[in-house]
Structure 1
Amino acid sequence: MIIALDINETLLDLSALDEPFREVFGSDSARRAWFTQMLQLSFVGGLTGAYVSFTEAQEAAFLMLASRQGLDLTFADADAMVDRMTRLPSHPEVPAALRRLKQAGTTIVALANSTQQVVEAQLDFAGIRQYFDAVYSADSIRQLKPAPAAYAMVAKNLGASMADIWLVAAHSWDVSGALAAGCSAAFVARSGEVPSPLGPQPAIVATDLDEVVRELLIRTPTTEAPFGHGSPAR
């Protein structure tokens, strides 16, 4: 069993950005509106074949939000806000939950849409990089999740089958993508989120990572050896 963990919202608490967004846009909902717009831009890039990195999508979404509100903001303003993505705390239960997985001998990898540089910085800042055998960025193959190639990249790099991989994420689109690609999946229901009712369903639905880990450890031997050498995809 390989546990592939999404990063933003699944492990890291984006509510740390609420106050900075409130200061700029004057709204408690601005950060969520920005993140939703960012996802839309990145998905459109994937569907049209005009690749857009997560960083580019985040900057563009910030400027779109500003334009809607008639605010005269610049790319420098967008860069300053987006840079905060590398300085997010983990959700409170995350370090202990990852430690339990590591102690059980489970292979743990990060699978993010953010660039390699950003996700490495995120994990370092949150103090949880040491729990991961490898860190993978779908940006490295220019096919972001939920494209099947993003999940297949993990299997290929670790010499495993898709059936060996469990995707853990707080986003229904990520879970749906993993299931469609042939992985198993666990959904972390952060902030009242729910899985999509369409298509295959995640085998685990839990309120936090600690509960997900408890369920995962029931399904895997505690002496499992990691696959491969954990070299990140480039």
Structure 2
Amino acid sequence: MATFPNSPAAPVVVFDVNGTLLDLSVLDPHFARLFSHPSVREEWFHLLERLWMVTLITDAYEPFAELAEAALRMTAQKWGIALPDEEKAAILQGMKALPPFPDVAEGLAAFREAGFRLAALTNGSLATAKTLLERAELTGFFDGVFSVEQVKRYKPAREPYQLAARGMGVATAEMTMTAAHAWDIAGARAAGCKTAFLARPGKVLNPLGPVPDWQAPNLPELARKMRR
């Protein structure tokens, strides 16, 4: 993977990882086999999102992997099925091998060629994020990779966005957070960031939430809009 050395003064764009750069639908066959319907994967992930929101309200941080497993066990209990250890392991290990969406490499290259500095900010662990980006051959696009575990506060709390801004040497107002999640857009805006919404399949904005500065159906189109 070629690297794209850009000036430290270049504008900064930070990307969410799971569901924005990397495609969770690769896990659907596991859920189809276990629950007889692949859509349960989305139900599980929505429950996982609720669990990390609870950690913010209660100020009781738990690691992402533990929340993911807890959400999986809760989903199985709700559906009234047993959760074999091998199936649980396959899903949780699958989270460490997510592929990029087809437009990601082209889109990130377009951002770099337009002069942007790029970073990734994940609600997952730092080690897993780095492994995922390396396996997806995306590492060379990024000047920084950050995780909420470094501040023990999940997005959409302000602290993770502030962490990424500090790590990139800019104020939050000088950083654009790009995500396919309405809650991420809202959190970034509350932290003072500019925002860009990537409309991945099935992802929509909250009509009561902040309007992003940019939005597009794919990364290359978003890069074209933001370079103007």
- TM normalised by structure 1 equals 0.89
For residue 104 of structure 1, what is the amino acid of its counterpart? A
The answer as to 2:199 corresponding to 1:189 is yes
In the alignment, which of 198, 209, 217 is matched to residue 207 of structure 1? Answer: 217
Q: Distance in 2 between matches of 1:75 and 1:179?
A: 40
Q: Counterpart of 2:151 in structure 1: which amino acid?
A: I
How far residue 159 of structure 1 moved from its aligned partner, in angstroms, is 2.2
Equivalent position SS for 2:225: helix
Matched letter for residue 184 of structure 2:
D
Bigger Cα displacement from structure 2, 107-116 vs 191-200: 191-200
Instruction: Name the counterpart of 1:151.
Output: 161
Which of 8, 12, 21 is 2:31 aligned to? 21
User: Secondary structure, in 3 states, of the residue corresponding to 2:22?
Assistant: coil
Name the structure 2 match of 1:60: 70
- Structure 2 counterpart of 1:172: 182
Question: Amino acid of the residue matched to residue 213 of structure 1?
Answer: A
**Shift in CA distance, 43/76, structure 1 to aligned 2, threshold 3 Å:** farther
Equivalent in the alignment of 2:101? 91
The answer to whether residue 136 in structure 2 is matched with residue 126 in structure 1 is yes
In structure 2, distance between residues paired with 1:21 and 1:127: 27
CA deviations over 1:45-79 (Å, ceiling 9, x no partner)? 11101112221111111111111122222566433
CA distance 1:47–1:79, change in 2 (3 Å): farther
Residue 196 (structure 1) shift:
1.3
**Equivalent-residue separation in structure 1 for 2:154 and 2:198 (angstroms):** 20
CA distance, structure 2, for counterparts of residue 113 and residue 175 of structure 1: 14
Q: Tell me the alpha carbon deviations over residues 135-189 of structure 1, each in whole angstroms, 9 at most, x when there is no partner.
A: 0001111011000011011122222111110000000000000011100000011
Task: Supply the distance in 1 between the matched residues of 2:217 and 2:101 (Cα, whole angstroms).
Answer: 12
Aligned residue for 1:8?
A: 18
Distance 1:49 1:68 in 2: 26
Aligned partner of 1:82: which letter?
L
Aligned residue for 1:222? none
State the match for 2:81 in structure 1.
71
Listed as ranges, the gaps of 5+ residues in structure 2 are: 1-10
Pick the aligned partner of 2:152 from 127, 142, 160.
Answer: 142
Contact 1:162 1:183 in 2 (8 A): yes
How far has the Cα of 1:94 moved from its partner? 0.6
Name the CA shift for 1:192/1:30 in 2 (closer, same or farther; >3 Å): closer
Residue identity in the other structure for 2:79 = Q
Under a length normalisation based on structure 2, what TM-score does the superposition of the two structures give?
0.91
Counterpart of 1:161, as a letter, is: A
1:116 corresponds in structure 2 to 126
Letter matched to residue 20 of structure 1: H
What is the percentage of aligned positions where both structures have the same residue?
37
Tell me the alpha carbon deviations over residues 94-148 of structure 1, each in whole angstroms, 9 at most, x when there is no partner: 1011111122331100011100011111111111111111100011110110000
Residues 81-90 or 163-172, more deviating: 81-90
Please give the secondary structure, in 1, of the residue aligned with 2:146.
Answer: strand
Count of aligned pairs between the two proteins: 218
Distance in 2 between residues matched to 1:103 and 1:89, nearest whole Å: 23
Question: Does 1:31 find its partner at 2:34?
Answer: no
Q: Assess if the C-alpha contact under 8 Å between 1:46 and 1:52 holds in 2.
A: no
Q: Measure the CA separation in 2 of the matches of 1:131 and 1:112.
A: 16
- Is 1:42–1:53's contact at 8 Å kept on the other side of the alignment? no
